[in-house]
Amino acid sequence: MFKKYNDKLFCFSPPVMLATLVIEFCLAAYTFIKYKMTTISRLAIAILITLGIFQLSEYMICGGFGLTHAEWTKFGYIATALLPAFGIHLVVSIAQKKSPLIVGLAYASSILFIAYYSLNSASISGQECYANYAVFYATGLMSQLFAVYYFGWLSISCYIAIHWSRRLPEKRIALHSVVIGGLLFIVPTYFFNVIDPTTTKGIPSIMCGFAVIFALILALRVLPNSCQNRKTIK
* pTM, to two decimals: 0.82
Write out pLDDT tens, residues 103-158: 999 999 999 989 888 877 666 655 555 544 445 555 567 777 877 888 889 889 99
Write out pLDDT tens, residues 152-189: 898 899 999 999 999 999 999 999 999 998 888 777 66
Over range 24-49, report the average pLDDT: 94
- Amino acid identity, position 133: Y
Q: Label residue 13 by pLDDT band (50, 70, 90).
A: low
- For the cut 80, the answer to whether the pLDDT of residue 201 exceeds it is no
**What local confidence, expressed as pLDDT, does residue 72 receive?**
72
CATH number of 14-228: 1.20.1070.10
Write out pLDDT tens, residues 39-55: 999 999 999 999 988 88
**What local confidence, expressed as pLDDT, does residue 234 receive?**
40
* Domain extent listing, the chain: 14-228
Q: What is the DSSP string of the chain?
A: -TTTTTT--STT-HHHHHHHHHHHHHHHHHHHHHB---HHHHHHHHHHHHHHHHHHHHHTTT-BTTB-HHHHHHHHHHHHHHHHHHHHHHHHHHTT---HHHHHHHHHHHHHHHHHHHH-TTSEEEEEE-SS-EEEEE-HHHHHHHHHHHHHHHHHHHHHHHHHHHH-GGGHHHHHHHHHHHHHHHHHHHHHHHH-GGGGGGHHHHHHHHHHHHHHHIIIIIGGGTS-BGGG--
Who wins on pLDDT, 49 or 72? Answer: 49
